[in-house]
Amino acid sequence: MSKARVLVVDDDRAVGLVLASLLKQAGYESHHVASGEDALAALASRAIDVVISDVRMPGMDGMELLGEVKQRTPDVPVLLLTAHGSVPLAVEAMKAGAAEFLLKPFDRDEVLFTVEKALATNARVAARPPDAPVRGEGQVLGDSDAMRETIARLKKAAPTVATVLLRGESGTGKEVAARTLHGWSPRHAGPFVAVHCAALPDNLLESELFGYEKGAFTGATQRKPGRVELAQGGTLFLDEIGDISPAVQVKLLRLLQEKEFQRLGGTSAEKVDVRFVAATHRDLEAMVEDGTFREDLFYRLNVVPVWMPPLRERGDDVALLANRFCAELADQNGRAGLRFAADGIAALRAHDWPGNVRELQNLVERLVVFAEGDAIRASDVERELGARSARNGRPSGSPAPIDAGTLDAHRVEAEKGAIRDALARAQGNRTQAARLLGISRRTLYNKLAELGLE
């Protein structure tokens, strides 16, 4: 299908561009405009599926824009973004019809989760057929020994219907690999449908996967196909498979074994023809051992295991990827010609990339947005790495312990306390705990790993 279109409205160019490009990376078509007036012009001239707008802007502000959008194109959900969050403002915005209220500085997963949720309420988008990506789109890139081996395995698996299990740390490119595999497969003209299993609570995940019949539950006013059905003739990508509950594990086992499923509220089994690709950063073998992941499901998934190597083991790929990202992002951001100086690349090579390719891509993006000359130098890289490490509480390069007196150490402790508290209040239920904390389930999982609370 054509990609969902997101309009980003922010008078702060850097914020707007970063947000628009984050959405692009996630597979949306996104445009940035700098004012409410320009947003209305964009809405009048092209089909937009969701709007994300800053609240405080000169001229027409986000609240006024919200009012106009609700009048002119009531189907289009509006998400408001502000650094000046206050409860009365949020309440006022929700009353005026805002789909959601997001706080700056924004969290990538939170933004994507919220956009996905908002798109699900847009009937026009829901009625579209699923994704049929262009052959070759989003191909895995890499020339290191580790990556050559991975690519060779993907090529061998591509022409078959064997289930592929992609393993590797977060940000290593498992989803990119899944899309590449689909693009290389005989099913490439069919749909590629992704389900991010950790992002959804159980009941939503089930209805998302299997769909529902009219009347299956309150609010089920019409029959809705699930992602499994939408992937007919193509590939179903089950991301974060290690995060699904035992109840969903049983249903997936049946789907993988019998190639059939039942819609929620349905009475008959439906047959499907889909190729399964799953991914996880978790140690599934250990989960099988401790009884949190079904052994039979593990074997069904682990037919062709493919490991995505961490970026720190990919040698020259750092330079290859950085140059590629720089060229693309510089082009998109009106900085064509901007490149890395040799010492800039050397500085990148010296970093250990705990966030893998995602971290590199985000860093290059910031370097492009804030670059002043024609070349990105080691000092620019070090400054950005240092700034981000300070924010993450993870000093750059060497993993020195956090000084108990620093602001970051306090933040880390405060976050740990809030997460422990929410988990206790939710009696260990992570979905509820995430809700109490106002973050997505996926963000909670990432935080648990980052803070060593798992």
Ligand X SMILES: Nc1ncnc2c1ncn2[C@@H]1O[C@H](COP(=O)(O)OP(=O)(O)OP(=O)(O)O)[C@@H](O)[C@H]1O
Q: Could you list the residues that contact ligand X (CB under 6 A)?
A: 25, 140-142, 168, 170-176, 239, 279, 281, 357-358, 361
Alpha carbon 171 to its chain centroid, in Å, reads: 10
Q: Nearest residue by C-beta to ligand X?
A: 173
Please, which residue, 54 or 359, has the CB nearer to ligand X?
359
User: Least distance in Å: CB of 355 to ligand X?
Assistant: 9
Please, which residue, 176 or 272, has the CB nearer to ligand X?
176
Please, which residue, 188 or 196, has the CB nearer to ligand X?
196
User: Least distance in Å: CB of 82 to ligand X?
Assistant: 26
User: Least distance in Å: CB of 154 to ligand X?
Assistant: 11
User: Least distance in Å: CB of 122 to ligand X?
Assistant: 24
Please, which residue, 272 or 449, has the CB nearer to ligand X?
449
User: Least distance in Å: CB of 310 to ligand X?
Assistant: 10
Please, which residue, 263 or 275, has the CB nearer to ligand X?
275
User: Least distance in Å: CB of 40 to ligand X?
Assistant: 31
User: Least distance in Å: CB of 178 to ligand X?
Assistant: 8
Please, which residue, 182 or 224, has the CB nearer to ligand X?
182
By C-alpha distance, which of 24, 33, 29, 31 is closest to 4? 29
By C-alpha distance, which of 10, 42, 37 is closest to 23? 10
Please work out, in degrees rounded to the nearest 5, the angle formed at the alpha carbon of residue 114 by the alpha carbons of 89 and 223. 120
Residue type, 96: A
User: Least distance in Å: CB of 174 to ligand X?
Assistant: 3
Instruction: Find out whether 170 and 448 touch, Cβ atoms under 8 Å.
Output: no
Please, which residue, 34 or 277, has the CB nearer to ligand X?
277
Instruction: Find out whether 234 and 285 touch, Cβ atoms under 8 Å.
Output: no
Rounded distance between C-alpha atoms, residue 402 and residue 192, angstroms: 43
User: Least distance in Å: CB of 104 to ligand X?
Assistant: 21
Please, which residue, 122 or 150, has the CB nearer to ligand X?
150
Please, which residue, 361 or 396, has the CB nearer to ligand X?
361
Rounded distance between C-alpha atoms, residue 341 and residue 122, angstroms: 45
